[in-house]
A and B are shown apart, each in its own frame.
Chain A
Amino acid sequence: MKRIVELIINGEPRDMTVDSCRSLLDALRDDVGLTGTKKGCDVGDCGACTVIVDGEPVNACLMLAVEAEGRTVETIEGLQPGVDVLHPLQDAFMRYGASQCGFCTPGILMMAKKLLDDNPRPTDEDIRFGLSGNICRCTGYTKIFDAIKAAAIEMEAARS
């Protein structure tokens, strides 16, 4: 059965007409056309589909689209603060080589954003723990850790 789901995606009110068994991930990718969120496993094991729903990161594959009714969803497409302005994390990921094949990158960026929003001065352990649900198979994580630390410092400097 199809249902109409009204929600806010990246600050814009949207509605999507979806099968009630459709995942939020499939709805975002196929029905809304936001393909930045990736499907790496479809069973919550890889974190590539991480989006932020009502302020909390979740696997979009493990949530039904109908459950997003009335909620606020943030995806990678909404991470940039302005048209030509990048989030400091995005900039740091480019400079530090934190993105290789890039398939895990959107999910990791959303997770890192949440991490720094909650914890502006994360320790190495905080960063490792914060990313423990996101698989990256290219980088060995080293450059990702570097980029997040650098972005945290830049964001801190921008605030003060």
Chain B
Amino acid sequence: MNMTTPIEKREFKIVGKSVRRDDVLEKVTGEAEYTGDVKLSGMLHGKIKRAAIAHARIKSIDVSKALAYPGVKAVLTHENVPRVLHYGSPHPRSASCTKDQFILDDRVRFWGEGVAAVAAISEEIADEALDLIEVEYEPLPAVFEPEDAAQPGAPLIHEVGPGGNLVLDPVRINRGDVEAGFAQADFVLEGTFSGGRPHPAYMEPNVCIADWDGSNKLTFWTSTQTSFMVRGILAEVLGLPLTKVRVLVDHMGGGFGAKQDLFQHEFLCALLAKETRRPVKMEFTRHETFVAGRSRHPCKIWLKQGFKNDGTLVARDMKLVYDSGAYGSHGPGVTIVGTTAATSLYRCENVRLEGRCVYTNTPINGAFRGYGVVQSYYALDIQMDEAAERLGMDPAELKLKNVVRAGDIAPSGHPILGHGLEICLQHGIDVLDWKKLRNRDRTPDPRHPHMRTGWGIGCEMHGSSAYPGIKEQGNATVKVNEDGTVTLLTGAAGLGTGAHTALAQIVGEELGVRFEDVGTIHGDTDVVPWDIGAFASHTTYLVGTAAKMAAGKVRAAVLDRAAMKLQVSAAEIDLSEGKVFVIGDPGRCMTVAEAMGPSRGIPAANIVANGTYEPTKSYSFAAHFAEVHVDTETGIVEVKRVIPVHDVGRVIHPIAAQGQIEGGIQQGIGHTLTEDYIIDKKTGRSLNAGLVDYKMPLSMDMPDIETIILEAAPDPGGPWGAKGVGEDPIIAIGPAIANAIHDAIGVRFHHYPITPEDILKALREKGA
């Protein structure tokens, strides 16, 4: 039985409409100011000297030639920066983090780590000065694979933490009785799965500008998803009160999760500016976005599940090992989220999970859309397809039978309230006429005798908000101005998703004013309410509810004031589209401006309200249906068509929601087929840190995407039932493609990316 509450049918004025986003006019005219566009007078340029060795102790570092180079203003090394241990990931609220990073250390833990920083009057001079810094290293034995790093006696990368190169103590989850579950099973499937190292490759390379004023206050422009976290950690490490650190971020050229670390260059930029008493800008090269940025955690998974002959899943035993790279960063969060996610998706009462995260001498892995779950659901969904094959069942049927349902306990430990996976799956099956598709004529096209076609389904669910790992909080301040316009102040970052527009829609709808009359102030930590940051698909869900609460409060205050002026009680009037009117007598009305403005000796009103919302978690769902063509001679796989069916609860801005889904699919296709940031396993050197050899699907590679969004399962915690959408699409597309490849050529792949070479090798082994 589907216990999901159907979505409330109601007429909206703004919500559910694809209003013009508040940030796009500037974007299409080139006027939008990104961090790298800020220019301050006297600004210096900072550059980082990076190690060309994966693991070493710095014996000596000589900067005298660099300092003497004309145009160089300052050089920093581990010898002259504060030695403060800090969290790489700015989520100190998450108890799982270990402080394991120094701004600069006398130790190198991965090839490409910064060992010194230069500020000079031009970028070219700073770059040239890097060559003049002489570093003498004492090489240390390095480990590049988690298996090697976890061996007893492996070189230790950190002295802090639980030891044995573990980033955190193993995450263990037990529900039911796994052994008893396997004892009931008619058959058992067991397999190992692995994922590569996809990189977010946001278009705007990381960049920041630091400027100290005469009162020793730091103003810091940076491309970040978590400006208040940047403020907090900078203040902590620099020993400043929060009043002396102001973080600014207006437009951002993408982040996809990875711009929520506190990066080495951000500290160094602030310190170089302090040292030189001049503004300093630091901008990554594209190469640096790879080596010094953050990628998805490579993962190895062992998965064993027991099934009954009717398809019932009776036991799940799973071990996951995530590769953290040289520092912890989001390793703990990813491990916890990715491991706990495996309690769900497909119902199973007997579950035993163990997640580990291991340091290696490779570039740091961090947060990336689909946070740990991309890896674990790839394994769960593919093995479900294998079970269907074993049972001689249609995978759609088996998935339908086993997907989680309303009332099941979610990974967060709560019963799922708004459940939509079954509906998404069924909808796709119906729209595509899946049975017919399964039974289609599979004779190869005589014009393309080597081409095989396949269809596959991938399922996923993903939480909006990082609860319970982080106890979250959304804040919003809403002010009504005396002319009837409304100002929303929010700390939520605008990394390109259109979140500010959605928030303004929510405020306008709840308050009863036109969308055009709501202005948004964001991106200045001195001005806007505290915000946890834009991540975990939570902005619309979490900050949206806070904005709705604040808007509700100011609405009540506006009604009170209008009631006084109209000489009726507040219960007798309503507010819509900027007009207050008497219910049943709409001729008696006034505009919000008239209600707010001064009249007959009454001064203009000052109406301000805050909303604070501390949510638990909602889940969004998707089933992706993908068609692939496989060239059996070259091994090349083309994704031809994707039908993503999503439940995101109430849709606030349809075009923006579709855009999230379609962009996530592009990244997920890349993950599954072509994208992998490759580290040489002998030296630790990056082999493809650039946009030619790190291969994202481009305009000619993208399939047709026919996005379907169902408002099937609203979550009572979100505004009018809205839930998150950002991360879901990247999770479901991977298994959909892998399952489609199996459908096309009868070969199972348990890893990503699935390369043409892998396809050919597998076809040969199969004897095709």
Contacts and interface: CB of A to CB of B under 8 A. Distances in A.
Question: Within the complex, are A and B direct neighbours (CB within 8 Å)?
Answer: yes
Interface string B45-80: 000000000000000000000000000000000000
Interface in A20-40: 21, 29-30, 33-40
B28 A101 contact: no
A46 B124 CA distance: 22
Contacts of B18: 97
Main secondary structure of the interface of A (DSSP, over half): loop
Contact of A40 (B39, B205, B664): B205
B659 A138 contact: yes
7 contacts: A35-B37, A101-B203, A101-B496, A102-B26, A137-B203, A138-B663, A142-B707
Residue from B18, B24, B285 having most chain A Cβ neighbours under 10 A: B24
Contacts of A96: 655
A105 interface: yes
Contact of B203 (A19, A128, A136): A136
A100 interface: yes
A19 B124 CA distance: 11
Interface string B319-359: 00000000000000000000000000000000000000000
A75 B29 CA distance: 10
Nearest to B256: A137
Interface string B182-206: 0000000000000000001111110
Interface of B: 18, 20-21, 23-34, 36-37, 39, 124, 200-205, 251-254, 256, 283, 285-286, 495-498, 655-656, 658-659, 662-667, 690-692, 696, 698-700, 702, 705, 707
Given A102-B28, A102-B251, A103-B253, 8 more contacts: A41-B286, A95-B20, A102-B27, A127-B699, A129-B700, A132-B700, A140-B702, A142-B662
A139 B700 contact: no
A104 interface: yes
Nearest to B698: A132
Residue from A75, A80, A96, A102 having most chain B Cβ neighbours under 10 A: A102
Interface stretch (A1-9, A64-72, A86-94, A152-160): A86-94
Contacts of B690: 41, 43, 45
Contacts of A38: 34, 36, 203-204, 253
A77 interface: yes
A125 to B, nearest CB: 8
Contacts of A21: 124
Contacts, number: 178
A33 B34 CA distance: 13
B203 A135 contact: yes
Contact of B254 (A42, A103, A145): A103
A137 B27 contact: no
B58 to A, nearest CB: 29
A55 B84 CA distance: 54
B658 A97 contact: yes
Contact of A137 (B31, B202, B286): B202
Interface string A143-157: 111000000000000
Interface in A113-136: 127-129, 131-132, 134-136
A86 B662 CA distance: 26
